[in-house]
Structure 1
Amino acid sequence: MFCKAFRVKASTAIKGSDRRKLRADVAAAFPSLNAEQLAELIPNKEELNVIKIYTHKGEAVTVYANGRNPILFEIEKALYPTVYTLWVYPDLLPAFSTWPPVLQKLAGGADLMLPGVVVPPSGFPQVERGTLCAVTLLGNRAPVAVAAAAMSTTEMLAAGMKGKGFAVLHTYMDHLWEYGDKSCPPTLAPLVADPAENEEEAEGKKPGNSFSNDTPQHVDIGDLSLKEQNSSAIVMGKEELNENRAAETAEDDSTGAQQDAEDSRTPQEQMDALFNQCFLHALKCKVKKSDLPLLTSTFLRSHMFSCCPAGQQLDIKKSSYKKFSKFLQGMQHQKILQVKELAKGVESIVEVDWKHPDIKAFAVPEGFSSASAAQDNKSEDREQVYHAPEIIPLYGVSAKMMPLFQDSGHKKGSILSSSEVRNIIINYVKANELVDETNKNFVKVNAVLCDCLLDKSEQDEISHLKWDDLLSRCLERLQPLHQVTFFGQEPIVRKGNIEPIDITTAQRSSNKKVTIIKNLELYGLDPQCVASILQQKVQASTTITPVPGAKDRVQVQIQGNQVHHLAKMLLEEYQLPRKYIQGLEKAPKLGRKK
């Protein structure tokens, strides 16, 4: 459910009455929790937020977060614990164990098949179909997934442990887990030893056993290799598993006191350290107060990349943050800077605390200097290649259009592309045999099409529609949305049609003309950068002012009618499509040469 990024609709602090109701709902859903545990899970005074999200499939989910970590999520009035909650209360749900390599499949969106479930010597817990269960890894009682049983325990055994065993809802390493502090599962000893553990004990335990109770440690699932074979790859043989453990143990023994801290870090930790270094370097040497507000994408592309040491490369996907916005959230929690959404879906850095101890204590690495960094910053701004965002129109299914789309499995709020809408309509017409037999260019209007696509004045008059008219009417009545994908970032879905870059001219005192440009932020353009480039090109003064009547929006104003220069910059240099620019016709007409 959360294997892909979700969209946050709203996040609010929960009220006292709602907090009490939530505690009562949790007590009813999980009766094994005592009063003290309930008070710990749903505290009276600590911060508790309710977050409304939409999954990548358009499903509405309510998430409850205690501090930073999501603790519960609710789907259609049913409550489910997250892995963060299950790590505190590991026995909250009946648990089934699987092999460690299976976890990456589950985190990628796969359900847990019965061949991948380990049968303990004490037998499975007794569950019915639909029972909420926890999934653990062999040798560790800390749950790594929340799933619903696809069949009862009796049915699993009767099926010979074949087929789908559990429908997975949420896992460690998915996007709901990423929304929290990204901590790893604790190491909890199994209540009953696993069969593989028993065999190891019979053979004699090795001193460096990774599941030893004497030296608890986190299970780093991300480093386990998953062999891409057929279904047999899911259940790894015990010999191979023992070899992997022995190899890990030998590797751990080979490292240690002889190696310094730099060498012992994982690649992920090294990338995190590199991001922190480039971040502090950019703030200390490149960003000035006059540059604010600064688009976060511009900060990464034009400032942090240029601070990266030679031979190394910043890659947010290889860090623990996975997204640059998550990295900046962490820096914001440390109160180094403040990030705001000045335009919907476009974040900017609005404030930096240059007196923060981390910035003051940062030492510029060898090979860099403050003066050269400032010079590099200017040249980087000039040479940086702008990538126009990819903009795709989308359509949301409204309540009125539901009858037309429910047969295809979609519901209110589902998001579709124009081609998907077209295919659904064509399939609906063919399935209901609505193509006119005498003229296949026309479609017969049945009761559903009549209610969804015709106005009241048309319902008694129109009995047939042309294919083009049918499709255009359908698109007009769906909720308009659009998806914007900026270079190197995750797609952003916004409501409505995207506003074009608006270019206008106005008269000022002494009959002077000025050119005003709005909505640059929506296309990933930094207004401050555009103003600087225009100022150099046309040798005219520029100013950045708030947009009248719009909160947290700015506009660029430049002396004279500069529409011609703007058109050349936006169309030719920035490669923006003409349809997203409004006001190009206001360019001054060139006089005829005599």
Structure 2
Amino acid sequence: MFSRAFRVRSNTAIKGSDRRKLRADVAAAFPNLSAEQLAEFIPNKEELNVIKIYCHKGEAVTVYMNNKNPVLFEIEKALYPTVYTLWVYPDLLPAFSTWPPVLQKLAGGADLMLPGVVVPPSGFPQVERGTLCAVTLLGNRAPVAVGVATMSTAEMLAAGMKGKGFAVLHTYMDHLWEYGDKSNPPTLAPLVTDSVDKESAEDEEMGGKEPVISLSTDPLQQMNVGDLSLQEQDSCAILMGKEELDENRAAETAEDASTEGLQEPEDSRTPQEQMDALFNQCFFHALKCKVKKSDLPLLTSTFLRSHMFSCCPAGQQLDIKKSSYKKFSKFLQYMQHQKILQVKELNKGVESIVEVDWKHPEIKAFAVPEGFSSASAAHDSKSEDREQVYHAPEIIPLYGVSTKMIPLFQESGHKKGSSLSSSEVRNIIINYVKANELVDETNKNLVKVNAILCDCLLDKSEQDEISHLKWDDLLSRCLERLQPLHQVTFFGQEPIVRKGNIEPIDINIAQRSSNKKVTIIKNLELYGLDPQCVANILQQKVQASATITPISGTKDRVQVQIQGNQIHHLAKMLLEEYQLPRKYIRGLEKAPKLGRKK
């Protein structure tokens, strides 16, 4: 989340009442903190600052600072500790270890995959899916990353330690860490029992190979940011060897399990784990087969009721209360952390799914369960073919030779109605002046006006007074007296030349009965946009009614009318999605001013 630079929106000192509320929130989020630790964590007198930031993907995050170090960050009312906090309280979260070379990948924005997680002899801490966890490096108990578990401990082991294990939110060496004093992790020795067990286990598993032993002893004293790249090849080779060992062990375990019965892992799952698995199945089934891109934004309640419920297998029933999430919003929040979808509060108190990553590996890899229509499984591959991608047209201003300008252009072989670009007009004028030796001998910035230039470029009142023109004045007068044209080239089509300058897309706000406002959009057809399609997309985006009405005084021209001032949504669509130049859109300045969110 903080792998790239973020933008600071505000930085204020926390008030006394907010400090007490924060302390209560921290106590609720981290109940294993003692009263003394809590008072030290959120002190009464020391200055605490609240910083509002926007991450590179647009996420709004609140950061709490203590002694110039970020100690907490808050996303959607959920609190997360930073590495600075975890270095003081290393046992605040359940911890999982990884190899030192993996840290560089995590700091670059990667999630932690299970093959990179070291399995300790004493076993993993028992966590559920969605549990907040710390990540440490082998040989040092000081956490270097904070992430959310994507599987429960039982699911990790059942998967043979393959797949994504943790969605990483924050790491040592990322931009949030850089916002503090940039101190390095302390060296915290592992627990004595774990250390002894680890050494004996490594001797048994790796045959006492020196590279592994040297890597596992105090890696932070051996490695800094510069050393990481130098050691990467050797360390990655060790990591690959460890992954192969883990895969071989998992394969042996799978073979042993097959002799005892393949149904045992499923039967051993708790009812809560079974409900989590059912929610996952219905979620990916609904995204792959039920939801279309044109359906977005989609109310979260509609998604659950109309899409996920219909994907539930016969004889089973979705019940969020029986899952580990307890609330559907928590389930969607977890999926948002996985970057599968994005949920926003478009209306107060009502959340909608506004974006889905259809190319996400988990959506692509999902297989429709038996008993459902196979035709629906082809939705993902066919939906992209059905959608027509809009390409903004190429628009070039041109100039047509008018009757009055024929004498000036006929020497270059052009006649009335010939269309020319501005550069072609410029070259023709320069060649005409040079061919007729009209450059003033004493001042080369001036051009002598002969009879043809006089008739073509000067008004009657000027013909007796002006004998010379500057080059810029000569060219501008020539362009003014030519007929304006424009050439439009739509994607995959031949260029079209039209008279006049192209009209911009016109956006207006009108008042209707009961003091209601509507947004009116005209001239979409000139840019190859289907007004009905634009109306449908806007209607779904803003959840407001949209209509198509004819424009009075024109033939075959219509306008889009949608309730409310929707210029912000319209601007995002036209400028960002359709890539239309801003100069061809008129009325964007009429957008409502956004109030500060409380």
- Interval of TM-score (by shorter of Structure 1 and Structure 2): 0.3 to 0.5
With the length of structure 1 as denominator, give the TM-score of the two structures. 0.43
Higher helix share: 2
In terms of Rg, which structure is larger? 2
